[in-house]
Amino acid sequence: MNFILTLAYLFFVGSVSGWVLELFFRKFFSASNPEHKWINPGFCTGPYLPIYGFGLCALYLLALLGRETGLDGSIQGRVLLFLGMAVSMTLIEYIGGLMLLKGAKIRLWDYSNCRGNVQGLICPLFSFFWALLGAGYYFLIHPHILTALAWFLENLAFSFVIGFFFGVFLVDMALSAHWAARIKAFADENGVIVKVENLKAHIRSAQERASARVHFFFAFRSERPLAEHLREAHEAVEKIRQKRKNDAA
């Protein structure tokens, strides 16, 4: 039981922390956000990204495995440990991206411009970043995670907060599934893959032009039907592609 509560706690911490990390990355560093606006990352409504929740659980389990097997007792062993962390994070990223891409025709990120990428979902460059993140986790975060877990297991009343989080999370997943189904219907009808960040940016721009309220968390909510935004966003992308093709010719 304690093990399940531990993983639930780590999923909660990782999901929220990953959301904050992506929020600042997209604000200040993302090329898909040239105007540097605050954009709610991911597909969920709330402030969490499940992929980072699974990632933190994986890093925690691998760090424990490294300690139990003595793998972290040498430099070579730690290098192997960090490589294992990079592989595990890359697999989580690939599986999550592939499920959305094949199941809902949705692309949350695109590494197509990176060398050695696989379906634009993973690439060596970001696997390297995952290795660095794993090393950073091991040296800087894991000791504090152990301390936090010890506190959590001594104060199980806090599990109410975790339970509340998962309750909200499940409702959010149902809402996200509703939006995903509507996007998939458009994608199937037009034979396209929908890039969520482009769609969010289009809805935001349309709301601003109409002097309507811009929803940060409810990024797909608009006074106009979602299908109209999908069609306009797709047409805008096609115009850009056609212009590039004409310029190249």
pLDDT per residue over 163-180, tens digit each? 899 999 999 999 999 999
Residues 6+ apart with CB under 8 A from 3: none
The fraction of the chain above a pLDDT of 70, given in percent, is 97
How much is the pTM? 0.89
Residue 32 has pLDDT above 90, yes or no: no
The mean of the pLDDT values for the chain is 89
Q: What does the radius of gyration of the chain's CA atoms come to, in whole angstroms?
A: 20
**Cβ atoms of 142 and 78 closer than 8 Å:** no
104-123, pLDDT tens digit by residue?
A: 999 999 999 899 999 999 99
Half-sphere exposure of 229 (CA within 13 A, CB side): 25
Convert 41-92 into a string of H (helix), E (strand) and C (coil).
Answer: CCCCCCCCCHHHHHHHHHHHHHHHHHHHHCHHHCHHHHHHHHHHHHHHHHHH
Span between the terminal Cα atoms of the chain, in Å: 64
The whole-number pLDDT of residue 87 equals 96
Average pLDDT of 13-38?
A: 84
Residue 248 has pLDDT above 70, yes or no: no
Gap between the Cα atoms of 228 and 36, Å rounded: 25
Gap between the Cα atoms of 149 and 169, Å rounded: 21
Residue 240 has pLDDT above 90, yes or no: no
Residue 249 has pLDDT above 70, yes or no: no
Gap between the Cα atoms of 249 and 156, Å rounded: 66
Q: Of 112, 109, 154, 51, whose CA–CA distance to 241 is shortest?
A: 112
Quick check: helix, strand or coil at residue 195?
A: strand
Residues 6+ apart with CB under 8 A from 158: 152
Convert 174-189 into a string of H (helix), E (strand) and C (coil).
Answer: HHHHHHHHHHHHHHHH
Residue 37 has pLDDT above 90, yes or no: no
The whole-number pLDDT of residue 83 equals 94
- The two tokens of residue 67 are 């300690």
For residue 115, the one-letter residue type is R
Residue 241 has pLDDT above 80, yes or no: no
